[in-house]
Amino acid sequence: MQVDKTTLQDISIFHREEEQSVFYHLNRTQTNGGREYLRWLLSKPLDSIADITDAQHTIKDLLVAHNKLPATITNGTIMVIESFLEAGVDNYPSNPNIVNSLMYKVASAADYSITKYSTSHFVGFVKDLQTIASLLLPHAQSKQIATWCERINLLLQRPVLQTILQWQRDKKLSPTEVLWLGRYVKLQFKQQTQELLEIYNKLDAYTSLALACNKYHFVFPLINESKEPFIKAEGLYHLLLEKPVSYDVTLNKDTNFMFLTGANMAGKSTFIKGVGICIYLAHIGMGVPAKAMEISLFDGLLTNIQVEDNIIKGESYFFNEVQRIKRTVDKLSDGKKWLILIDELFKGTNVQDAMKCSLTVIEGLRKTGNALFVLSTHLYEIAEPLQQYSNIDFRYFETSVLNDQLVFGYHLQKGVSNDRLGYLILKREGVIEMLEQL
C-alpha cells in the first residue's frame, strides 16, 4: 500500500514526540535490533493479501507461544555478541590447548576476559534459539516463522554448534574451550551469527506486535480482494486515547464519501485519524482497534490533515493545501483503490473563498469510483448543494450546551451540524473576561 511521510505523520504512526505515536504504543521489543526492525515494519505496509495474511499468522503464532518462549535473550546479550563480532580480538592460538591457552590468558588478559564473557553469552543465545525453533516450528501457520526456524535449525547443525548445544547452560568453560569457541565464532561463524541475530530481531519485533494485540484486545480484520474499495467496521476506535468512543463505519461504492461536520473539539479529527490508523495497521498484518472489521485491499492511503506553511520556500499555508489536493487528484487518476482522509479543507483562506474551493473539490472528488473519502469541514453551508449526490453520507458529531458549559458526546450522528461554538470556548476558557480587563 502506498503512503508518504506526510500520511505517516498525520495519523501518528511516527511522531516527533514519540509517546504520541502508534509506534510507541505497539513497541514491546526487548532489543535495540528488534525495535529498529519494528520501526521498519511499521513504515512498510504490505501490498498483497497473501503477505498480509502471513503477517497475521506470524503474530497469531507468537500470541499462542510467547508465554512458552525463553525470556533469557536480553538486549544485553545481543549487544555483547554484536560487540564481540566487531571487536579487534582475533589473535587466538590456531590450535588452542592447555598450555597456549593458559599463556594467552596471562599474556592477553583483557582479550581473554572479553572472549570468555562473550562466549558464555553466545552459548546461552544459541541454546535459546534452539528452544524457540523447537517450540514454534511444529505448529507454525506462518511461512515467515517456518522459514526462520528452519534456518535456525540448519545453522545450528554445524558440528561445533552441536557440541555447544550439548553443554549445560551454566557450564564453566575451560581456557581452551573459551579460545576454541571464540576463535570459531570470530573467524568461521561470524556471518552466520549475524544472521541468527537478525532472525531474533525479527522475532522480537513480531512478538512486540503480538503482545500489543493481547494488551489492547485487537481483532484481526478480514481483507477482501474486491474490485471496489470498501470499509465495514464495528466498534472502531482511536488507539491512542485512554477512554475512546467507538464508531461503526461503512463506506463502499454506493456511499463512498463521508461528509463530516461538528464543532471544534467535537471529535472529527480523532475519528478521521482513527479510521486511518485502523486501515494502516490492517495492511501491516496487525490486529486493529475495533470489534470487527472487513475491508478491501487498498493500493494507497493519503491524508490531508496537518498542512504547514514553508517560510523558507515562501509557500503559504493555503498554497500547500492546494498542492496537497493536487497530489491527491494526481494519485486518484491511476485507477487504483485509495482511501483519502481530509481534515478541514482550505483553512488558509477566507470563508467565502474556502466555501467555493471546498465545494469545487468535493464535487470533483466524489465522482471517483476507485476511492473512499472521509472529509471534515466547519463549512456546513456547502452541505445543501451536495445533498443531490446519493454517494455522499452526511455525518456529524453533536455538541450541546448545559449551564453555559460545552458537552461533547463524541457520538457519530447522521446529518449535518451547524454548531458554531468558538465564542463559547473563548468564554469558557476565561479569554473574554481577560480581554475585558485589559
Distances (CA, A) of 147 to 37, 129, 396: 17, 14, 49
At residue 314, the pLDDT reads 43
CATH number, domain containing residue 412: 3.40.50.300
Question: Looking at the domain assignment, is residue 4 inside a domain?
Answer: no
Q: Which of 187, 216, 245 is the last residue of a domain?
A: 216
Residues 251 and 393 both lie in one domain: yes
Nearest CA to 196 out of 157, 155, 162 is that of 155
Residue 115 lies in a domain: yes
For residue 371, which of 287, 281, 286, 279 has the smallest C-alpha distance?
279
State whether 200 and 226 are in the same domain. no
Residue with cell 553469552: 121
Q: Specify if 340 maps to a domain.
A: yes
| pLDDT tens digit sequence for 124-157 | 999 999 999 999 999 999 999 999 999 999 999 9
Q: Is the pLDDT of residue 348 over 80?
A: no
Report whether pLDDT(404) > 70.
no
pLDDT at 425 (0 to 100): 66
Contact 348, 318 (CB under 8 A): yes
Better pLDDT: 332 or 438: 332
230 and 106 in one domain? no
Closest of 66, 77, 111, 68 to residue 91, by C-alpha: 111
Confidence class for position 311, pLDDT limits 50, 70, 90: very low
Q: How many CB atoms lie within 10 A of CB 232?
A: 17
- Residue ending a domain, choose from 196, 216, 236: 216
Statement: residue 312 has pLDDT above 50: no
Kindly tell me if the per-residue pLDDT of 238 is higher than 80: yes
Tell me, what's the pLDDT at 218?
97
Terminal Cα-to-Cα distance of the chain (whole angstroms): 54
Q: Can you tell me whether residue 302 is helix, strand or coil? A: strand
Position 265 pLDDT exceeds 50: yes
Residue 113, in any domain of the structure = yes
pLDDT tens digits, 178-223? 999 999 999 999 999 999 999 999 999 999 999 999 999 999 999 9
Residue 231 CB contacts under 8 Å (≥ 6 apart), including other chains: 249, 250, 251, 252, 275, 279, 293, 295, 296, 339, 372
Task: Judge if 402 and 419 occupy the same domain.
Answer: yes
Q: Is residue 232 part of a domain?
A: yes
Q: What is the pLDDT of residue 431?
A: 75
Question: Is a pLDDT exceeding 90 seen at residue 168?
Answer: no
pLDDT exceeds cutoff 90 at 161: yes
In a domain, 21, yes or no: no
The answer to whether residues 43 and 131 belong to one domain is: yes
User: For a pLDDT cut of 90, what percent of the chain falls above it?
Assistant: 70
Sign of the CA dihedral running 62, 67, 70, 76: positive
- CATH number for position 48: 1.10.1420
Give yes or no for residue 262 having a pLDDT over 70. Answer: yes
Together in a domain, 165 and 236: no
Whether residue 185 is found in the same domain as residue 117 = yes
Same domain, 210 and 232: no
The label of the residue with cell 581456557 reads 175
Q: Is the pLDDT of residue 170 over 90?
A: no
Q: Is the pLDDT of residue 310 over 60?
A: no
Q: Are residues 38 and 109 in the same domain?
A: yes
Entry field: residues in the chain: 438
Residue 10 lies in a domain: no
Give pLDDT tens digits for 22-43: 999 999 999 999 999 999 999 9
Please check the confidence at residue 258 and state whether its pLDDT lies above 60.
Answer: yes
Same domain, 211 and 252: no
- Average pLDDT across the chain, whole number: 90
Last residue of a domain, one of 200, 216, 232: 216
**What local confidence, expressed as pLDDT, does residue 400 receive?**
64
User: What is the per-residue pLDDT for 308?
Assistant: 60
Q: Are residues 238 and 202 in the same domain?
A: no
Does residue 262 contact residue 245 with C-beta atoms inside 8 Å?
no
Instruction: Give pLDDT, residue 129.
Output: 97
pTM for this one?
0.91
**Which residues are paired to 257 by β-bridges?**
373, 392
136 contacts 207 by C-beta, under 8 angstroms: no
Q: Is residue 284 part of a domain?
A: yes
DSSP secondary structure string, 24-80? HHH---SSHHHHHHHHHHHT---S-HHHHHHHHHHHHHHHHHTTTS-----HHHHHH
Segments forming the whole domain that contains residue 110: 31-216
Structural domain count of the chain: 2
Over range 262-268, report the average pLDDT. Answer: 75
231: which strand partners? 251, 295
| 133 and 59 in a common domain | yes
